[in-house]
Amino acid sequence: MADLEGVKAEKNYHTGEPFAVKGNFHVKGMANQEWGIKKRLSNIFNPRSGNTVMFAFDHGYFMGSVSGLERLDLLIPRLRDHVDVLMATRGALRTSVQPDCRKAIALRVSAGSSMVNDDLSHETVSVDIEDAVRMNADCMAVQVFIGADGQLESIKNLSTVINAGMRYSIPTLGVVAVGKNMERTDQYFKLATRIIAELGAHIVKTYYCDKFEEVVAACPVPIVVAGGKKLAEKEALEMAYKSIQGGARGLDMGRNIFQSLHPVEMADAVGKIVHRKFTDKEAWEYYNDRVKDK
Ligand code: 5RP
């Protein structure tokens, strides 16, 4: 392993230069992947816009019935046609989502902590590859805790899922976890996203931050931005816009959709930014026009 002596601070991310290894495929870094991987990534990232709106409702795997997700059976039918991907646990999908939903599935396959733990960083691989194949998952999501006590376990989990997924051409989504005490700096996100990509993940999910375009430039696979804690809708749309402007290939929102006063309209407004090049102001106007008579 390279020693850490004399590691120079990185200098130039060439943020103005598009990723050079393109091939004829619309997803960053995937030009040399196998047909099945590309098919599943095309189910996730729209070939026209190159982007995706993931609706995340996998919170129950460690938070239980968080506010807004009390009744998945009532919520998902309302939202499913307004997003591109459903990010969920196998339990939520099998019990509460109709299989005719015709939506890409980001299957949560790691678990291990709960909200009663202080340290959430100790997880395991909770879903085997056969069940991911059975559920026709378009990608498998694994939480990665860079810098936390459970770092090594989470990197083992990520590697196990990537290895199994490559046997069946199912992509892996590495999720950058930010613990309560973890700083949300560009330095941290550059480190975490790059490690996850270097280990072979096909998609990385992280958070928006300052110098986000550098985080994107240094990551050789597509980045999708997590919504994070509930913001005012205007703020959430601004964050979505800045993420896309910064080079993210999509948003993976949970609370900012399912805890919104108007989840469907919020999902549509995010979709306008992600797929139709709306600015945050245009999306905010669109959202208000949709909800004003409600
Ligand atoms: C939960 C997750 C969520 O999928 C992710 O954080 C997106 O949800 P939110 O927008 O509510 O943060 O990884 O562990």
State the CB neighbour count (10 A cutoff) for residue 130.
Answer: 10
Residue nearest to atom 1 of ligand 1 (CA): 59
Asked, for residue 25, whether it belongs to a domain, the answer is: no
- 100 CA distance to ligand 1 middle (Å): 24
Asked, for residue 152, whether it belongs to a domain, the answer is: yes
205 catalytic per annotation: yes
Which of 252, 255, 259 to probe ligand 1 with, by most ligand atoms within 8 A of CB? 252
Residue nearest to atom 8 of ligand 1 (CA): 254
Asked, for residue 267, whether it belongs to a domain, the answer is: no
218 has a pLDDT exceeding 90 = yes
Overall domain count for the chain: 1
Asked, for residue 7, whether it belongs to a domain, the answer is: no
Asked, for residue 1, whether it belongs to a domain, the answer is: no
pLDDT (tens digit, 9 = 90+) per residue, 16-42? 999 998 888 999 999 999 999 999 999
Asked, for residue 188, whether it belongs to a domain, the answer is: yes
pLDDT band, very low/low/confident/very high, at 180 (cuts 50, 70, 90) = low
pLDDT at 105: 98
Ligand 1-lining residues (CB < 6 angstroms): 56, 58-59, 87, 175, 226-228, 252-256
Six token digits for residue 239: 């964050």
Three-state DSSP class for residue 127 = coil
Give the CATH number for residue 115.
3.20.20.70
Asked, for residue 6, whether it belongs to a domain, the answer is: no
Domain span including residue 134: 35-227+243-258
241 has a pLDDT exceeding 80 = yes
- 228 CA distance to ligand 1 middle (Å): 6
Note whether 281 and 242 are within 8 A (CB).
no
pLDDT band, very low/low/confident/very high, at 6 (cuts 50, 70, 90) = low
Q: Which residue has the higher pLDDT, 140 or 293?
A: 140
240-252 burial string, b = 16+ CB within 10 Å, else e?
bbbbbebbbbbbb
Asked, for residue 234, whether it belongs to a domain, the answer is: no
DSSP bridge partners of 230? none
Place of tokens 């299957």: 107
Annotated catalytic residue, options 205, 277, 281, 292: 205
Average pLDDT, stretch 54-71? Answer: 96
* Beta strands per DSSP E along 34-187: 52-56, 85-88, 104-108, 110-111, 124-125, 139-144, 172-176
Q: At residue 212, what are phi and psi to the nearest 5 degrees? A: -60, -35
Three-state DSSP class for residue 20 = coil
